[in-house]
Amino acid sequence: MRPAWGRVSTVSMMALGLAVLSCNTKSNPVSGTKPDVIVSIKGNSSQLGPRAYWPSPDTVEVGTKVAWKNNDSMAHTSTQRAGAFTWDTGSIAPGARSIIVTMGTPGTYSYSCTAMMHNMQGILVVK
């Protein structure tokens, strides 16, 4: 008979394995989910400041599904941490599309890339 800690350990390791396998490491949305709007991150965007995201400003309705497509050669984010509605796409690899963010609250949102020294900015108006 196995000691109780052995069974717990085995179950814990199986749960951890399933959690790791289910992680989405590519910043791509769940299969079959399509954004309503795709905001482009331009090439050489870390040098463009407020012109790094296109279109910006962009206006969408509440409930719109938005994703960001990274057309640059380095990873970027779309992060909005202030106000009534916040989001953080996490790192978006070169050539990849971000997770989908469903815009939930009306407002004007200034978002940015949180990668070090990129100074990229975008504006999204949700009505």
| Residue among 42, 109, 117, 39 nearest 79 (CA) | 109
pLDDT in the model for residue 45: 78
Q: Please give the CATH architecture assigned to the domain spanning 27-126.
A: Sandwich (2.60)
Omega cis (within 30) before 35? no
> Tell me, what's the pLDDT at 2?
52
Q: Rounded CA gap, 7 and 51, in Å?
A: 56
Extents of the domains making up the chain: 27-126
* Run means of pLDDT, 10 residues per run, the chain, 127 residues: 52 41 35 82 80 91 96 94 92 96 95 86 94
Of 91, 47, 94, 46, whose CA–CA distance to 71 is shortest? 94
pTM: 0.71
